[in-house]
Amino acid sequence: MSDTIEKIKCLIIGSGPAGYTAAIYAARADLKPVMYTGMQMGGQLTTTTEVDNFPGYPNGTDGTAMMEDLKNQAERFGTEVRFGLVTSVDLSSEVGGVHKITVDETKQIEAQTVIISTGATAKYLGLESEQRLIGGGVSACATCDGFFYRNQDVVVVGAGDTAAEEATYLANICKKVTVLVRKDYMRASKAMQHRVNKTKNLEVKYNTEIDEVLGDKVVEGVRVFNNITGEKEVIDVTGLFVAIGHKPNTDIFKGILEMDDTGYLITKGKSTKTNLPGVFAAGDVQDKEYRQAVTAAGTGCMAALDAERYLGALD
């Protein structure tokens, strides 16, 4: 453990659109922010090949390039971006209190404000072929990537409201959507199930799981099996959308910050304030509803403004 304790005004944990936008605003407010990127610098968007729905890119861009643009902009205003992982926290419950952070289990930091933008990790099936083709036809976000599969055949895996929403969204774009449900029923609300059943180009296969995602560099199909009969078949598709949920990256905050049953941080009203003073949450770590880069960036802006106002009220 390091004996040297670094004291800073604003610590940002996480480096996706929320974290970088918070950094831009915090730096411009002279909060001299320090960011720790986490193990995936740039967050989930670095696993996305093409980004066409973020304002300011009329010809589109790719996720890694966009995150590099945001990083460069944050650094231009003085943000210190560091590669490292926050491994433990000791957050104060006092207004004006000092928040103690440990990075990589050794470095000690004391921060007046903390902005948490650690995001959420999409859950995948865990197949080797699926992991290999993420960004090559395998996606966990229909709103993000559905456009690229216009007039094509795709598969959605999942049984809840998210899967139903993604399937009906894709049905407006794609030629045919096949939903694969592991059990003999959907967990989605009745209203969403009715919407699925009324969509003509949408087929639901129950008791069906994926055995392998087919294709070398891009998805060319999926081999599925009926988990009751064992019968296998190949479905020719160009896209696989996995909609089995997300896990917010909040494990180190459990028992410290208020969160819902699934681990998303709870913020107060329309602010980014958590239950502890001087601690703010932005992006997918507190948003399980929209989960878009642009909404994450918006809450990153809010978090920096909330942090600036919090510090201003202490003077």
**Residues recognised as catalytic:** 141, 144-145
As a whole number of angstroms, the distance between CA 57 and CA 66 comes to 9
DSSP symbol at 105? T
Element (H, E) at 63: helix 63-76
Closest CA to 64 of 44, 78, 35, 80: 44
Closest CA to 74 of 120, 112, 37: 37
As a whole number of angstroms, the distance between CA 43 and CA 18 comes to 10
Listing DSSP states for 245-291 in one string gives -EEES-GGGTTTS-B-TTSPBP--TTS-B-SSTTEEE-GGGT-SS--
Q: Which residues contact 250 (CB under 8 A, 6 or more apart)?
A: 116, 118, 257, 259, 263, 264, 265, 285
